[in-house]
Amino acid sequence: MGNNTIIVFAKTPEPGKVKTRIAAQLGDEIALQIYNQLLQFTFSLIGDLAYRKIVYYAGEGSQDYWKGLETRKQASGDLGNRMVKAFEEVLNEDISAAIIIGTDCASLTKEIIESAFTELATNDLVIGPAADGGYYLLGIKKNYPLLFEHIDWSTEKVFEQTIQHVKNLSLSYHILPVLTDIDEAHQVPEGWY
């Protein structure tokens, strides 16, 4: 089980650089507060799961912020390129399976993460669709750079286009439950700000 790895894609919490849609509605400080809540939620969720965890971060001044966690800087380029590079590095390290999650999904559960790894034992790929048309989790055992090409990132087409690539590559796959990412003010849980 230790061979399975959770990759967390995160941004260093800096005002004006996180949760920009929420910031446009509620201001930078509240957006930062909400983002910090999401980070806390994500790290407490995966904290005691028996997998290797690596934070791939974007932003500056990050070494201080991520103390105590295994960290790597995200590659440059669009989201697809950054994910390809992260998967490439991790899967080249004698890892049997890796999943990638972000820090936007406050409804993600340990059970869903466990079931993602269980499904990867018998499938090439596992994906967790987000209600907005993206995905909150993607898991693979081998890197397929084609999965991340010609995707309209940050649009409602991401999940659909990814599944089309999966079919084109003839990969077996499992779809996890649909969850909601927190990208807009109305999606923020009560009491978070």
Residue ranges per structural domain of the chain: 4-186
Using the Cα atoms of residue 63, residue 46, residue 156 and residue 147 in order, give the sign of their dihedral: positive
Determine the pLDDT at residue 81. Answer: 97
Lowest mean pLDDT among 62-71, 74-83, 85-94, 162-171: 62-71
Gap between the Cα atoms of 27 and 35, Å rounded: 12
Neighbours of 91 (CB within 10 A): 17
**Which residues lie closer than 8 Å to 102 by C-beta, 6 or more apart?**
8, 9, 10, 136, 181
Counting Cβ atoms within 10 Å, is residue 93 exposed (0-12), middle (13-18) or buried (19+)?
Answer: exposed
Which two tokens mark 169?
């590559």
- How much is the pTM? 0.95
pLDDT per residue over 88-123, tens digit each?
999 999 889 999 999 999 999 999 999 999 999 999
CATH T-level assignment (fold) for domain 4-186: Spore Coat Polysaccharide Biosynthesis Protein SpsA; Chain A (3.90.550)
pLDDT of 1 higher than 80: no
Could you read off the pLDDT of 33-47 as tens digits, one per residue? 999 999 999 999 999
d(CA 73, CA 65): 13
The secondary structure of 35-67 as a DSSP string is: HHHHHHHHHHHHTTSSSEEEEEEESSSHHHHTT
